[in-house]
Amino acid sequence: MSVKKCLNDLEQFLIQQKNDILNIELNYFDKQRKTSRIMYEETLKKLWSAYHQPRDDFEMISSIMLEIIQQRCEKNGERVECIYKFSRKCNLL
């Protein structure tokens, strides 16, 4: 076995390992994204519930504040989605 073939085999092995690691990371980030989405939806439901049925003065949240929180969460979600899509594209290259 020549040195050139050995180096070529090593290079192919390293490329495959890199792709495997990227796939593992993407699967992890996909799970994190789904978990975060579920947590976001549950928290948003709690906020709207607190808005509609306040138990005391400290729990009252104005509708404008709820909308601002929701918009901010949606923007953060869009950023995470953009990063996820970029990661996917990089993995396909």
Of the chain, the end-to-end C-alpha distance in Å amounts to 31
Q: How confident is the model at residue 55 (pLDDT cuts 50, 70, 90)?
A: low
CB 87 within 8 A of CB 29: yes
Q: For residue 43, how many other CB atoms are within 10 A of its CB?
A: 12
What is the mean predicted confidence (pLDDT) over 70-74?
A: 84
pLDDT score of 68: 84
> Given this model, what pLDDT does residue 56 score?
61
Mean pLDDT confidence for 32-61: 75
Task: Evaluate if residue 16 carries a pLDDT over 80.
Answer: yes
pTM of the model: 0.51
Domain ranges (residues) in the chain: 26-92
How high is the pLDDT of residue 61?
Answer: 66
- Is 92 exposed, middle or buried, given 0-12, 13-18 or 19+ CB atoms closer than 10 A? exposed
pLDDT score for 57? 57
Distance CA 54, CA 13 (A): 60
